Structures are given as structure tokens and as C-alpha cells.
Amino acid sequence: MEDNLDGSILDAPKILITPPGPKSLAILKQQEVYETSALNYPKYFKIAIDKAQGSTIVDVDGNVYIDMVTGISVVNLGHNNPYIKKYVETQLNKVWHTLEIPTEIRVMFAKKLLSTLGFKAKLLFTTTGADAVEAGVKIARWVTKRKVIIAFEGSYHGITSGTLGFTGANRFKEFNPIFDSFVAKFPYPYPYRCPFKDCVNDILSLIDYAISNPAYLGGEVAGILVEPVQGEGGYVIPPRGFLKGLREIADKYSIPLIVDEVQTGVGRTGKMWAYQWEGITPDIVCISKSIGEGIPLSMVAYREDFDKLPIGFHLGTYRGNPLGLAAGLATLEFIERFDILSRVQRLGEKVLSELKEEISNPHVGDIRGLGFMIGIELVKGNKDPLSEGVKKAIEESLKRGLLVYKAGRWDNVIRLMPPLTIPEKLLFTGIEILKDILNNV
Ligand SMILES: Cc1ncc(COP(=O)(O)O)c(C=O)c1O
């Protein structure tokens, strides 16, 4: 299968003019005139994109970049992947919008997706990642007739008025002080910054204690909502046993375990679903981002025996878009056909050990990863976060033709999320660039 599955431009990166070039600048300026001052990503990536192929992106000035951002873990099989494109084009010639009225592609997708989960489930389509979380929590509350949701510090589940309550970072709450407040937050096991003696078991004991005392939490618990690896929170990988422990607590108190796989799912960690690393099955799974490969598609999968939801329980005009469903079916087939999961496990480990062995910089506090979720945490002395260093690394990488991004509670983690299909040559060229920046700049 190696080694250009996604149709990348293999001689990337190519920098013809230091970005932002004049054409990019002109378009960025126009964007500022027409769009909100709240734009985020153009502040980090000062380019305008002309086109993209596989793991490479071309800006309007002709510069070619290696993409390790994938639109925040969305275009996991590479931009314009020919396999996905064929399915989408076929659907494009049939029908684009049908509400919930079934199409062949809709049932084919549903059957295929459900076959990957490891438990008997039903699907409810939603419109975004946050909407999938809203729906997942709503189902848990409906089924249990309880209110309180257990969530975790450092988590990110979206910024709608509902999900903002489950999301850890307070900075988003400044913009919208009205959010779901039937939420109890607990620490998330963060091996690099763990204040406990036993990071997993101490936290699990605390949660168990709190649930067994409903007065402590202000009500009975309707669901435990967790990311198997924290994404926006800094690619924090909890030690093995955490998810399993949550599963045991959930069973003990008959509480649905809601796993948010919006960022970790569809092969990103080297398993189809990150919860499969722990050999557990959740009760509810929230899915979005890479399942549609850039065509918005999201859904919540929940235990079949929870399926007593009334008609119209959750609505949304765009749920289950046929083009997204075509992309989704192609995505699941592609991962299977080209054995993408073992590729991600193998190359993820190789990248991680290369970074660990070959980066020597006192500001690199921790290097961690699972599959193609790789984080490099930058610190000053005493583990104080060094967010300026991350900003500088993103800027310097861009200049050299590599796109990387940030994550973390303090924006101090360099986040690598390359396409799962990235040709090895491009993967290790990109890693070379980053190593050089971290070792020398
Ligand atoms: C784990 C997780 N859940 C939910 C969301 C929200 O998804 P969306 O931005 O599509 O609403 C994100 C987005 O980054 C995410 O990483």
C-alpha cells in the first residue's frame, strides 16, 4: 500500500516565498473586512489556501505545506482522498438532502458504523460534535431520569450553551455565562502533572465516593462524560485503567458511560475507537469530525436497550447529510481495506520514540502520544507553561512548510495530528523540521 495512498504532493514542503506571500495577504485582508473579529485560525496560519491534495496543502502563492493539522483531526484520510471523492461524487449525482427520509447510502453507512462499535447500538444523527454531545447527555438524562453529569477538568466538548457546562476551560465561559450547570467536575489523570499519589485510583475513589453521596453532588448522576484522550486539553493520555475504572463505577451505580470520541475516533489513536484500547464498551458514544472527512457528519450511538426515545426527541435540519454519509461509508471501508489502524500504531510509535530520543531542549517538559495524537508540552522551570514557545514553533514551522497547531489548558502543547494516510517520507520530513526547530531555534 505504501506510500502515497492519499495522493499527496511528494516533494513537499516547497516554500517559494516566505508566508504570508502577497496573494495570501490580499485575501486575508479581504476576510478581515467581511468577517468577524473573532476569527481564530488565520491568526496562526497566515495564508490563504488554494487547494489541497492528501497530506499537503497549497497556498495561493504556490507554497506547498505538509499538513499535520488536518482541520483539527477532520481530514484523517487526507484532503481530496480519491477513494472518498468517488463515493461523494456518486452521491452528488443522486441527492444531497433528504431530512431523515432514508436513502441507500444512509442505511449502508449505519450498518457499517454500528458493526465497528463492539456493542449493540442504535444511531441518532446530529449536526456537529457539540450537538452529538448534547444529544448523548440528553439520552442519558432521559433514560435515567436524573440530572447531574460528571465531567472532567481540561475537557472540551464544545461551546454551545449546553456543552459549555461540560467543557473544562473557563475562558470560553467568559463569552457566554449561561450554560448547563448540572455538572460535577473531577480531575482528569494527567500523568505529567498529577498531584495525587496514584493518579488513576485516587481519582476513581473520589468519583465513587461522590456518587455514593448524592447530597455531595446536588443530585443523582445521569451520566459520566469523558474523552478517552483529552484533545483540546493537551493530548493528555490517561494511564491504562482509568476508562476501565469509570466503566466499573458506571456499572456499580447503573450510570451510562458517555464516551466523547469526536476527536479520538475513527482510527486517530490506532484503534477505530479509543475506548477499545481499554477493552471496554461505553453506553453512549459521540462521533463527529473525521467520520465525514470534512463533510459535516455527526451522530450519537447508544445502547440498543436505551431505544425508547419519543418521536422528535432530538431535531436538526441537516442531520445525516447524504454527502457526509457517502464520505463516512468510504472512510470506514478505506480504513479496513488499507489496514490503516496498524499503520497508525506502527508509525505513531516510531514518531514518538524519534521525538523522545532526538529532541534536546530544556523547555520540552513532556512528549506523549497515542497513535497519531502526539503532543509536545513546553514549560519554563518548575513545569510552568510556556505558551509563547508553542506560538513560536507554529510560526517557524509554517515558514518552513509544516502545519502544526497548539492544544492544552495553557496553550503550551504543540499538537501533531497528521493524516492517518500521510506518506512516510512526508511524515518524517515534517518531524525533521520540527526537531530542528525545537533543537535549534
Ligand atoms: C472531544 C471533542 N468533543 C466535542 C467537540 C466539539 O465539536 P464541534 O466543534 O464540531 O462542535 C470537539 C471539538 O474540537 C472535541 O474535540
Residue 229 forms part of a structural domain: yes
260 lines ligand 1 (CB under 6 A): yes
Whether pLDDT at 92 is above 80: yes
Q: Same structural domain for residues 374 and 308?
A: no
For residue 128, the ligand 1 atom closest to its alpha carbon is 10
320 and 371 within one domain: no
Q: Which amino acid is residue 417, in one-letter code?
A: M
Tens digits of residue pLDDT in 43-67: 999 999 999 999 999 999 999 999 9
- Residue 213 has a pLDDT of 87
Q: Is 169 in the pocket of ligand 1 (CB under 6 A)?
A: no
Nearest CA to 390 among 438, 334, 324, 331? 438
pLDDT (average), residues 385-399: 97
Residues 354 and 288 grouped into a single domain: no
User: Could you say which of 315, 337, 359 is where a domain stops?
Assistant: 337
14 belongs to a structural domain: no
Distance (Å, whole) CA 168 – CA 1: 41
Q: 3-class SS at 385?
A: strand
Are 352 and 327 members of one domain? no
pLDDT greater than 50 at residue 205: yes
Give the distance from CA 22 to its chain's centroid. Answer: 33
Q: Do 275 and 367 belong to one domain?
A: no
What pLDDT is attached to residue 441?
80
Q: Measure 159 CA to ligand 1 centroid, in angstroms.
A: 8
Is residue 3 in a domain? no
Predicted pLDDT at 195? 94
Q: Is 133 near ligand 1, meaning CB less than 6 Å away? A: yes
What's the 422 CA to ligand 1 centre distance in angstroms?
Answer: 23
- Residue 18: how many other CB atoms lie within 10 Å: 11
Q: What is the pLDDT of residue 171?
A: 87
Give the separation between CA 232 and CA 409, rounded to whole angstroms. Answer: 8
Q: How far apart are CA 331 and CA 243, in angstroms?
A: 26
- The half-sphere exposure of 348 on its side-chain side, counting CA atoms within 13 A, is 25
Ligand 1 centroid, distance to 286 Cα (angstroms): 10
Considering 308, 337, 366, which residue would you say is the last residue of a domain? 337
In a domain, 282, yes or no: yes
Are β-strands 221-226 and 49-53 bridged in parallel, bridged antiparallel, or unpaired?
A: unpaired
How close is the Cα of 167 to the center of ligand 1, in Å?
10
What are the φ/ψ torsions at residue 80 (nearest 5 degrees)?
55, 30
Q: Return mean pLDDT, the chain.
A: 97
pLDDT of residue 169: 85
Report the nearest atom of ligand 1 relative to the CA of 155: 1
Q: Do 51 and 102 fall within a single domain?
A: no
337, 358, 385: which is the final residue of a domain?
Answer: 337
Q: What is the pLDDT of residue 2?
A: 57
Please, where are the H alpha helices in 16-122? 22-34, 41-44, 70-73, 82-92, 104-114
**Is residue 419 domain-shared with residue 385, that is, in the same domain?**
yes
Nearest CA to ligand 1 atom 4: 157
Whether residue 335 is predicted with pLDDT greater than 80 in this model: the reply is yes
Does residue 262 have its Cβ closer than 6 Å to ligand 1? yes
Pairing of strands 64-67, 402-403: parallel
pLDDT band at 267 (very low <50, low <70, confident <90, very high): very high
DSSP count for the chain of H helices, then E strands: 13, 15
The predicted model gives 27-37 an average pLDDT of 98
Residues 226 and 164 grouped into a single domain: yes
What confidence tens digit (pLDDT) does each residue in 218-250 have? 899 999 999 999 999 999 999 999 999 999 999
Q: How confident is the model at residue 215 (pLDDT cuts 50, 70, 90)?
A: confident
Average pLDDT rounded to a whole number, residues 8-17: 98
Instruction: Grade residue 381 by pLDDT with cuts at 50, 70 and 90.
Output: confident
Across residues 324-347, what is the average pLDDT? 98
DSSP string, 244-300: HHHHHHHHHTT--EEEE-TTTTTTTTSSSSGGGGGT---SEEEE-GGGGTTS--EEE
Whether residue 16 lies inside any domain: the answer is: no
Residue 231 Cβ contacting ligand 1 at under 6 Å: yes
Residue of 128, 152, 156, 258 best suited for mutating to test ligand 1, as the one with most atoms within 8 Å of CB: 156
Q: Does the structure show a pLDDT above 80 at 214?
A: no
User: 288 CB under 6 A from ligand 1?
Assistant: yes
Query: Taking the CB of residue 223, how many other CB atoms lie within 10 A of it?
Result: 27
Claim to verify: residue 177 and residue 265 sit in the same structural domain: yes
Residue 417 within any structural domain of the chain: yes
DSSP H or E stretch at residue 429:
helix 424-440
Give the SS3 label for residue 44. Answer: helix
Tell whether 357 and 318 lie within a shared domain: no
Task: Specify whether the CB–CB gap between 54 and 78 falls below 8 A.
Answer: yes
The tens digit of pLDDT for each residue in 159-184 reads: 999 999 999 988 889 999 999 999 99
Do 348 and 411 fall within a single domain? yes
The amino acid present at 396, given as its one-letter code, is: E
Q: Provide the number of structural domains found in the chain.
A: 2
Q: Is 292 inside any structural domain? A: yes
Q: Is the CB of 166 under 6 A from ligand 1?
A: no
* 214 compared with 279, residue with greater pLDDT: 279
pLDDT in the model for residue 1: 45
| Domain with 52 in it | 22-68+339-440
CATH code at 146? Answer: 3.40.640.10
Work out the angle between the directed axes of helices 199-211 and 242-252 (0-180°, nearest 10).
Answer: 20
As given in the structure block, the three cell numbers for residue 208 are: 465513587
Q: 150 pairs with which residues across the strands?
A: 184, 224
CB contact at 8 A, 375 and 369: yes
pLDDT in tens, 126-150: 999 999 999 999 999 999 999 999 9
- pLDDT tens-digit map of 296-334: 999 999 999 999 999 999 999 999 999 999 999 999 999
CATH number of the domain that 33 lies in? 3.90.1150.10
Residue 160 maps to a domain: yes
Q: Atom of ligand 1 at shortest distance to CA of 298?
A: 10
Q: Do 115 and 43 belong together in one domain?
A: no
The whole-angstrom distance between residue 355's C-alpha and the CA centroid of its chain comes to 22
330: three-class secondary structure by DSSP: helix
